[in-house]
Amino acid sequence: MAPVRIAVVGLGKIARDQHLPAIAANPAFTLVATVSREGDGVPGVPHFQSLDQLLERGPAIDAAALCTPPQVRHELAAMALARGTHLFLEKPPGATLAEVAALQGMAQASGATLFASWHSRFAAGVAPARSWLAGRRIDRVQITWREDVRVWHPGQAWIWEPGGLGVFDPGINALSIATHILPQRFFLKSAVLEFPANRAAPIAADMHFCDTHGAPIHMDLDWRQTGPQTWDIVVETDAGRLTLSNGGAVLALPDRTERDEDREYAGLYAHFAALIRSGQCDVDVTPLQLVADAFLCGRRREVEAFED
């Protein structure tokens, strides 16, 4: 089978750090074009200022990875799906749930694969954590996701605008893991979202969930942590404690600890290739639903202004 001819749309930090190396390492794909309004793209690869320029004048593509901010992604995704192009959506899959649902309908009509990716689900410890938790009684869960926004999102103004999610941009990674590994669905009970006085998106959130069996789930998100960063999920069960740390890369169980190298994006692209071969889509919006519920039902608290 010939490699899938793929274009990367949006050449920000995540595209250069993760998507381009993962594509280069996967023989199922060949990078044939890049799209970005800024910069010159990748040496030796045709580069375009817009997706419509690529689709009209560029090399033929079978698939595209959309790595743009979520606020502008729907128009680009619709343009590609109208031509039957397979789509890999960087997380979150869109700025709203309704637009993602619309894209699902377009993908079904066109026969194209639509993959709403959640990279943290492909961290090394996540699959074994899900297996270990299956069938166990969950007593309580603590999610702590604290990092320094100046390190991970320097100068990215879009992330502070409506649809940019603010601290939920990393927080949705934790929710993508929790919704995948916990055996019962869970829902929001209460939330307090802290908004800097000069920003339209939150910098911190304190959230309380409950699963369908009554187990409490607490989530602590903060973008103001300096020094060592914290990406931990602790699950207390009838068989002892499970801890996922380092964003899911390290799994600690009552009788052992497992750790492995970073392979999130390698796993994502392997999955995307399999979806294309089988003619399937994978669009799970559950993490985005929980974030939407936080904005819908959470209390807003104004805090001091934040400057990069």
pLDDT in tens, 17-59: 999 999 999 999 999 999 998 878 899 999 999 999 999 998 9
Domain range annotation of the chain: 4-116, 121-259+292-303
pTM: 0.95
Helix (H, G, I), strand (E, B) or coil at 90: coil
CA distance 204 to 68: 23
For 155-196, the pLDDT digits (tens) are 889 999 999 999 999 999 999 999 999 999 999 999 999 999
CATH hierarchy code of domain 4-116: 3.40.50.720
pLDDT of 38: 83
Which CATH fold would you assign to the domain 121-259+292-303? Answer: Dihydrodipicolinate Reductase; domain 2 (3.30.360)
pLDDT of 261: 77
CA distance 5 to 62: 5
136 near 237, Cβ under 8 Å?
yes
Q: Which of 74, 86, 91, 146 is catalytic?
A: 91
Angle at 100 between CA 95 and CA 102, to 5 degrees: 125
CA distance 204 to 207: 10
Q: Based on the residue annotation, tell me whether 189 is a catalytic residue of this protein.
A: no
Question: Which residues in the chain come in under a pLDDT of 70?
Answer: none
pLDDT of 274: 98
Encoded amino acid at 87, one letter: L
pLDDT of 259: 86
